[in-house]
């Protein structure tokens, strides 16, 4: 199927077809729409998770974030050591 894209979109489509090896615009659009759908699902899950966190905080189930301890745990996890006590 032939599509009439605006010039900027047409350029992007052509570039992606060349770089990613798509054989047709249909293949590219199918993948793009599938990725967009997956993005929408992830976005909805993230929003639901954020709402859960807000609800828990409103119920007093949250505690203040100890940023120094979090950074320390991340650094030690990256280098494969246990965080200091």
pLDDT digits (tens, 9 = 90+) for 11-43: 999 999 999 999 999 999 999 999 999 999 999
Instruction: Please give the mean pLDDT across all residues of the chain.
Output: 92
Give domain limits for the chain.
7-79
- Is this model's pTM higher than 0.95 or not? no
- For residue 15, CA distances in Å to 22, 29, 82 come to 10, 13, 47
Mean pLDDT across the stretch 38-55?
A: 97
Nearest CA to 31 out of 22, 40, 44 is that of 22
């Amino acid at each position: 199927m032939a599509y009439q894209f605006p010039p900027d979109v047409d350029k992007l489509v052509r570039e992606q077809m060349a770089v990613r090896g798509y054989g047709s615009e249909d293949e590219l659009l199918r993948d793009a729409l599938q990725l967009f759908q997956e993005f929408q699902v992830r976005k909805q899950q993230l929003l639901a998770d954020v709402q859960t966190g807000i609800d828990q905080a409103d119920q007093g189930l949250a505690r203040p974030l100890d940023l120094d301890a979090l950074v320390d745990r991340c650094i030690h996890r990256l280098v494969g050591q246990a965080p200091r006590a």
